[in-house]
Structure 1
Amino acid sequence: MLVNALFDDFRAHLDDYNDRRERLIKTSRDVTNLSKRTIFLLHRMVMEADADDDTAALQAAARGHEKLREIQRLFAGMKPELAGDRFWRYQRQVSPGLQEYTEALSFAHYLEHGSLITFDQVQRTLCDADGVPYFPLTIADYLLGLSDLTGELMRFAISAISRRGGRAKASEVCAFVRACKADFERMTPYVRDLSKKQAVTALSLEKIEHAAYAIAVRTSEYSLPQEMLDDIVAESISTFSAEDESRTRSGRRRDDDNPDDIEGLL
């Protein structure tokens, strides 16, 4: 009888573990989906205005923070599931959603302030009204989420170039991404998977630099009003983006790409 009771206890413990794990996976997926929608919302709102329109960026950030509060309510619901040391037991289930949330939050923060969100600022968004954290934010999740931000900034910079006043904004974003890459590099020995993210960041930085350099060189050859130059740049970037996407889908090696492709379009 004692043996049966012992195994019943084991079964109940395993059932509780698996049920909690499934609930956390589902919530983490919901967090990921909402975070992606927030990022799409931010991109859409800033693309509807001129690149140098700071008011549009602030409005986009405000809308983004509204969507992020929905995610924060999901995190609040996870608090009982992760009480005590259970967070570390289920960290792998929580981590993907937390990284995606950090990416969306940092993008909204950049649009609003033009700077990188700090670790403490992210952690404060994961606290209740009394300032008690729902669960701890790890340095790894924070850094990996910020590393993903550089990809969104690349898209933001490329789209900014194609709009009026966007070349200065793209140059600003390029310098910011370059600084992020340099600062994150020293962390790669200590954070698992950060080196892989850094490789993606390097590609994102290369795309921004390539587009900005080609446009700066080619536009210097024309004696045209600024408005006409902006129109030429917009058309060229649109064509370049379509061809770049086509190359990516066809699986061509980067080494085979012609580095002068975008320059030939301008």
Structure 2
Amino acid sequence: MPAATPQHDRDILLSNFESFRTEIDDYNDRRERLIKASRDVTNLSKKVIFLLHRIALEDDETSYSRAAKRGVSKLREVQDIYAGLTHELVGDRFWRFQRQVSPGLQEYIEALSFAHYLQHGTLIPFEAYFPLTVSDYLLGLSDLTGELMRFAISGLSSHKGGRAKATQVCAFVRACKADFEQYTPFVPDLRKKQAVTGQSLEKIEDAAYTIVVRSSEYDLPPEILDHIVAQSISMFSDRSHKRARAFEDGSDDDDS
């Protein structure tokens, strides 16, 4: 057997490095495509959430249903994006690139579950809609509680029946927080999001408390009572904003 020459060894080494370079370039290109797609999904989902808030707060009986239908229709653009990414995430690639895909998935789940809540008043079921990881499902639903807080408080000041809806949302968010707690040891980042959910729940509970107090103070027609509650909620929102800013300033001081 002839001895290997230096040139032969060099050719083998270059061939190996060419293979490594091709694999690394393929990885980086795929990673960039997935990051861009995830950002596109995030932006589209945020626009849908804004659309849901805007339509749902229109003062008529069909606003929730119309908002949900418009939202689901717009989210088909997101589904088309994911359909085009199927070949990028075959086999173990989904897990390899989950960090790049997960943010967009969570935002999409948040938007779709918000539309589902407006339509049905319930939590969107995992089995029927999401052939995805349970962690993305739970993290997306945790973000939903923040949107429900904004929906409830905004409805108090601008929507007939907002007081009753705020009470329903409060009970729903409270149940979500309690049910999700058991999964915090198993889902990274869920504990942090549970803390944010707790803050959202506190804001809704404070608003609901205001409703009860004002309702007991005044024996007035519902229309006038809605106006009084709206004024109280506006003052409450200002106080909450100031408390949050003071808390953040205090946290900054502690960190320094």
Q: Which TM-score applies when normalising by structure 2? A: 0.89
Partners of 2:210 and 2:233 within 8 A in 1: no
Q: Are 1:23 and 2:58 an aligned pair?
A: no
CA RMSD of aligned residues (A): 1.7
The residue that corresponds to 1:140 in the other structure is 135
Aligned partner (choices 202, 206, 209) of residue 205 of structure 2: 209
Aligned partner (choices 58, 65, 70) of residue 65 of structure 2: 58
Moved more, 186-195 or 221-230: 221-230
Q: Are 1:177 and 2:173 an aligned pair?
A: yes
> For 1:223 and 1:191, how far apart are their aligned partners in 2?
48
Residues matched between the structures, number: 239
The residue that corresponds to 1:69 in the other structure is 76
The residue that corresponds to 1:252 in the other structure is 246
Q: Are 1:156 and 2:151 an aligned pair?
A: yes
Q: Are 1:111 and 2:118 an aligned pair?
A: yes
The residue that corresponds to 1:241 in the other structure is 237
> For 2:173 and 2:99, how far apart are their aligned partners in 1?
28
Partners of 1:65 and 1:108 within 8 A in 2: yes
Larger radius of gyration: 2
> For 1:86 and 1:217, how far apart are their aligned partners in 2?
55
Aligned partner (choices 192, 216, 225) of residue 220 of structure 1: 216
Task: Give the CA deviation at 1:238.
Answer: 2.8
Partners of 1:215 and 1:233 within 8 A in 2: yes
Counting aligned pairs with the same residue, the percent is 67
Partners of 2:126 and 2:137 within 8 A in 1: yes
Q: Which TM-score applies when normalising by structure 1? A: 0.86
> For 2:207 and 2:21, how far apart are their aligned partners in 1?
59
Q: Are 1:190 and 2:186 an aligned pair?
A: yes
Aligned partner (choices 79, 83, 86) of residue 93 of structure 2: 86
Any stretches of 5+ residues in structure 1 without a counterpart?
124-135, 257-266
Task: Give the CA deviation at 1:230.
Answer: 1.0
Q: What letter matches 1:11 in structure 2?
A: R
* Structure number with higher helix proportion: 2
Cα shift readout 1:185-207 (whole Å, capped 9, x = no counterpart): 11111111111111011111111
> For 2:194 and 2:137, how far apart are their aligned partners in 1?
14
Partners of 1:102 and 1:122 within 8 A in 2: no
Partners of 2:210 and 2:229 within 8 A in 1: no
Shift >6 Å, 4+ stretches:
none
Q: Are 1:98 and 2:105 an aligned pair?
A: yes
Task: Give the CA deviation at 1:240.
Answer: 3.0
Aligned partner (choices 4, 23, 32) of residue 14 of structure 2: 4
Q: Are 1:39 and 2:39 an aligned pair?
A: no
Partners of 2:57 and 2:63 within 8 A in 1: no
> For 2:230 and 2:160, how far apart are their aligned partners in 1?
9
Task: Give the CA deviation at 1:247.
Answer: 4.6
